[in-house]
Amino acid sequence: MPQEEHINVRYVAGLARLTLTPEEESAYAGQLDRILHYVAQLDSVDVSSVPEHTLEDGGCDFTRPDTARPSQPMEDALLNAPRRSQDQFLVPKVVE
Measured distance CA(1)–CA(15) in Å, rounded: 23
Domain spanning 1-43: CATH 1.10.20: yes
Residue 24: count of CB within 10 angstroms of its CB: 13
- Does the predicted TM-score (pTM) go above 0.85? no
1: confidence class by pLDDT, cuts 50, 70, 90: very low
What integer pLDDT is reported at residue 2 of this predicted model? 47
CB 9 within 8 A of CB 28: yes
Measured distance CA(48)–CA(65) in Å, rounded: 33
Over residues 17-32, the pLDDT tens digits come to 999 999 999 999 999 9
User: Taking Cα atoms as reference points, which of 31, 44, 37, 41 lies closest to residue 5?
Assistant: 37
